[in-house]
Amino acid sequence: MNSKILRIIFTLVMLNFTSDTTAQENNMKTNSLSDFEKWVIEKKGTERPFSGEYYDYWDDGEYTCKRCGTPLFRSENKFDAQCGWPSFDDEIQGAVRRQTDADGSRIEILCNNCDAHLGHVFLGEGFTEKNTRHCVNSTSLSFVPLKIERQNVIFAGGCFWGVEFYLQKENGVMDVISGYTGGWKEHPTYKEVSSGNSGHFEAVKVVYDPSKTNFETLVKVFFEIHDPTQANGQGPDIGPQYRSAVFYQNTVEKEIIEDLIKQLKAKGFKTSTLVLPASVFWVAEDYHQDYYEHKGTMPYCHFRTKRF
């Protein structure tokens, strides 16, 4: 084979190699880094202890590589080792690579996708049952919060201030909003609802995390924080706007409400609570939101009474 043919073959091989390398580099999407981030991630630096964004950070979600976005650790594996850096006792399978550190005495951990320096891993310290501590620079990480499914239910049980006050304290409740529902007046005001002529109830919309609580639990709480046997009012607040009602969004919710009412009646409670389909919920004026929290007092006509 003459030299000319060899040169052609060599050129073709190098072109193919260069093309493949360029394609791999283009497929590796990386985020831009600040000078300090480059020092930690590329030069294997270490941020000062207790200075990182995620050292004392406990939201639910995933920690990803700051450079390439690969998921590395989950919040459920994070613990406080009181060492000054975020600590995890496990990694997402296949996401983290280990190698002997340049000092020859420690084990470095890197993003398995882009080789970003993360920190070091230590074994046998006994912090958790997994006996592993991934000691990670916050600078090497980004955080992706867990997407929480939200559901809601609407209750009316007298003055919405008191109903809101107690439901806000329940586990899994993310928000409680005071407002008006069930009537014919659009964009009602407090004055219009208080007149009793708008058809609306004073009500609250409860937004909750179904992984931490459920519809039935919240309905039970509702029946225990007001008097479901009082018709046309609640305590000293009398009028149609203060009636007791639960608003359902589907047949399953309706059946749950009706079953709980049957249980109450079997215990001797002559329940007057209405079971109604959910309709438009109008948010009340700002000064009604978190009323007792701002005022610093307790509700005057709502009390917690065990009924289930």
Positions annotated as catalytic residues are: 135, 159
d(CA 76, CA 181): 40
Sorted by sequence, the CB contacts under 8 Å of residue 117 that are 6+ apart come out as 40, 41, 42, 43, 44, 45, 108, 110, 137, 140
Name residue 120's beta-bridge partners.
108, 135
Structure token digits, residue 35: 């000078």
Structure token digits, residue 277: 């389909």
Pairing of strands 237-238, 244-248: unpaired
Structure token digits, residue 90: 């496990």
62: closest CA among 5, 140, 123, 146? Answer: 146
Name residue 173's beta-bridge partners.
208
Q: Are 236 and 159 in contact (CB under 8 A)?
A: no
Q: Are 100 and 75 in contact (CB under 8 A)?
A: no
- Would you tell me how many other CB atoms lie within 10 Å of the CB of residue 293? 12
Q: Are 208 and 218 in contact (CB under 8 A)?
A: yes
Burial of 171-183, coded b for 16+ CB within 10 Å and e otherwise, reads: eebeebbbbbbbb
Report the SS3 class of residue 252: helix
Structure token digits, residue 91: 């990694």
Q: Are 250 and 138 in contact (CB under 8 A)?
A: no
